[in-house]
Amino acid sequence: MVFGRHFSSLIALLYTSAGVLGHPACEKAPAGDCTYPSLINATSEQLQDGLNKGCFTSADLVKAYVERIHEVNSTLHMVLEINPDAIQIAQSLDKERKNGNTRGPLHGLPILVKDLIGTNDKMETAAGSHALVGAKVPEDSTVVAKLRESGAIILGKTSLSEWANFRSSDSSDGWNARGGQTYAAYIQNQTPSGSSSGSAVSADLGLALATLGTETYGSILWPSEKSNIVGIKPTTGLTSRHMAIPISERQDTIGPMARTVKDAAMVLQAIVGQDPKDNYTLASPFATGFPDYVAACKSSGLQGRRIGIPRNVVSHYGGKDNPVVSAFEATISEIEAAGATIVEDANFTAYEESIYSQMHSKMTALDFISNIADYLSGLKTNPNNIYSLNDIRHFTQHEPLEDYPDRDTFLWDLTLSVGLNNTSPEYWPMYQEVLRVGGDGGILGALTRQNLDAVILPTAVAPEIPAMVGSPVITVPLGVLPEGTPELKDRGVVYSAPGIPFGISFLGAKWSEEQLIGMAYAFEQRTLKRDQLRRIIEPNTELRDVL
């Protein structure tokens, strides 16, 4: 791309220690039939192939990824800490493989997880805040336990917008007190968006096979689009939230962020499951077996699908002069060419109401008061005695490293001033209102009225309505902002400028991930937009450098 070249001259000046682009995809080993996939776009299948042939080990893979993290972290600040036991864990998984036991497609592959997701190991689980440093979970979060069972290596913890962006009215996306400001890799000082900021940047740059993020409202989908990757926001309850730092039990969900739909599906497969410790998972229709999300990755995934466009949502976002909307419009013919029927009249009938109603944010706030107290009461150690939102707020306002008052605690102040929580009688009617607006007046009504398999939207406007009802969304890369896009900058972070990636989202009914993955895969394979974009910074270390 034109601006890719434009910015690459900047790179040479600004990022002399980090490499730029253009590694060969694979290099032949001097002997044997070994190939070494370039880690910026290596898939789990390529990595398993090399591991099974003995071309490299999981310990080598850990070494290479750790080197790559160190190459870029001083600029992008995307990883908070590396698991000090990662090499040892890799060695024991290498031994298992040597003995003929591989647990599945993630065996021996490193994965990074957001600092909200509990790990009962030497690492912190602290939402990027100093308040929870030293606080220990009594056991792994269920998703981490499942990843470990599937043979994945938990390589480290990724950076995020502090407290999953539920703190300030005037902070910046991707900032937290422990790791500072996270940046994405496509232009200088690029917003990573949030709150799963470091997870997105790390998946993009090949610092692990894939990463986990969490979403209440946009926190997987938005950072995924800004880092040109695939993000799956699962139905609330498809993946257990046990021992993950919460915002809202009715909305929170944990999902994969990866470079390809298939790798995201593979990670999703490993973390789904019913879990008595998170009873929202018991509502899934999969008590007797979950779908095969990897097998759903078929190039025929769009064939015969009915896909709606909520025109009122798109036109509220922008007209054809908006480059994201025009790229979205231009890709509709690709979806039709892949065998889908486009249904234009799939408006979210209560969308205008949702824009002016404060019910959704109020409901989220009242869940947070109750849910964070529950989480804190379950910690094994809690050195700063943080048991409530009041305690968090007090700590944050008195700890100089938390950058208060320059970054305020507005959302907590507001939440506490309401004097209610999700057990208050006032909560229920509020929640029912949110379900109506997001459900019959939103995604669910649009799907049933027109008998649709999915609706599509620019990812910028995809998250809110599904957040209200806990329904799933997948974002896939679509393009970049063109030359001439005005620069929008705040606190030194660039939110809009030429070269920043954006995505397209597929939204479906609850528990419809299998169908959505099929559609997203077919779209990805047809368009292959991810490989067309250019970064200004990439790590250089490859497997061959550590062998």
Ligand X SMILES: *[C@@H]1O[C@H](CO)[C@@H](O)[C@H](O)[C@H]1NC(C)=O
Quick check: 183 and 76 in contact, CB under 8 A?
yes
Closest C-alpha to 456, from 443, 445, 467: 443
Tell me whether residue 219 is one of the annotated catalytic residues.
yes
**152 vs 280: CA distance, rounded Å:** 25
Site for ligand X in 175-194 (CB under 6 A): 178-180
Stretch that binds ligand X, among 38-46, 115-123, 378-386, 443-451 (CB under 6 A): 38-46
401 makes contact with ligand X (CB under 6 A): no
247 makes contact with ligand X (CB under 6 A): no
150: three-class secondary structure by DSSP: coil
Q: Rounded to the nearest whole angstrom, what is the least distance from the CB of residue 99 to ligand X in the complex?
A: 31
Q: Rounded to the nearest whole angstrom, what is the least distance from the CB of residue 180 to ligand X in the complex?
A: 5
406: three-class secondary structure by DSSP: coil
**264 vs 503: CA distance, rounded Å:** 16
Q: Rounded to the nearest whole angstrom, what is the least distance from the CB of residue 369 to ligand X in the complex?
A: 5
299 makes contact with ligand X (CB under 6 A): no
Q: Which residue has the tokens 């957001």?
A: 114
Question: Exposed (0-12), middle (13-18) or buried (19+): which is 30, by Cβ within 10 Å?
Answer: exposed
By CB under 6 A, the count of residues binding ligand X is 28
Q: Which of 63, 114, 233, 529 is catalytic?
A: 114
CB nearer ligand X, residue 97 or residue 115: 115
312 makes contact with ligand X (CB under 6 A): yes
CB nearer ligand X, residue 365 or residue 454: 365
82 makes contact with ligand X (CB under 6 A): yes
- Member of 45, 149, 406, 531 binding ligand X (CB under 6 A): 531
391 makes contact with ligand X (CB under 6 A): no
448 makes contact with ligand X (CB under 6 A): no
Site for ligand X in 10-29 (CB under 6 A): 23, 25
- Residue 185 DSSP code: S
CB nearer ligand X, residue 97 or residue 259: 259
Q: Which of 195, 197, 224, 505 is catalytic?
A: 195
Q: Rounded to the nearest whole angstrom, what is the least distance from the CB of residue 176 to ligand X in the complex?
A: 9
Q: Rounded to the nearest whole angstrom, what is the least distance from the CB of residue 414 to ligand X in the complex?
A: 15
Q: Rounded to the nearest whole angstrom, what is the least distance from the CB of residue 37 to ligand X in the complex?
A: 8
Phi, psi of 335 (to 5 degrees): -70, -40
Q: Which of 219, 240, 248, 354 is catalytic?
A: 219
**DSSP letter string, 214-264:** EESSSTTHHHHHHTT-EEEEPPBTTB--TTB--S-TTT-EEEEEESSHHHH
CB nearer ligand X, residue 63 or residue 77: 77
**DSSP letter string, 294-318:** TTT--TTTTTT-EEE-BHHHHHHH-
Contacts of 330 (CB under 8 A, 6+ apart): none
Taken as a whole, the chain contains a residue count of 547
279 makes contact with ligand X (CB under 6 A): yes
350 makes contact with ligand X (CB under 6 A): no
Angle at 96 between CA 95 and CA 98, to 5 degrees: 65
CB nearer ligand X, residue 144 or residue 533: 533
Closest C-alpha to 449, from 346, 309, 374, 342: 346
Name all contacts of 423-429 with Cβ < 8 Å and 24+ positions apart. 423/370, 424/366, 427/363, 427/366
- Residue 462 DSSP code: S
Q: Indicate the residue type of 270.
A: A
* Binding-residue pattern over the window 360 to 389 for ligand X, x denoting contact by CB under 6 A: ---------xx--x----------------
Q: Rounded to the nearest whole angstrom, what is the least distance from the CB of residue 79 to ligand X in the complex?
A: 5
End-to-end CA distance of the chain: give it in Å, rounded: 34
- Residue 439 DSSP code: T
CB nearer ligand X, residue 40 or residue 469: 40
- Member of 149, 345, 426, 545 binding ligand X (CB under 6 A): 345
353 makes contact with ligand X (CB under 6 A): no
- Member of 8, 20, 29, 41 binding ligand X (CB under 6 A): 41
Of the CA atoms within 13 Å of residue 201, those in its CB half-sphere come to 41
Tell me whether residue 226 is one of the annotated catalytic residues.
no
Show which residues are catalytic: 114, 195, 219
- Which residues here bind ligand X, judged by CB under 6 A? 23, 25, 38, 40-41, 69, 73, 77, 79-82, 178-180, 279, 311-312, 315, 345, 347, 369-370, 373, 421, 423-424, 531
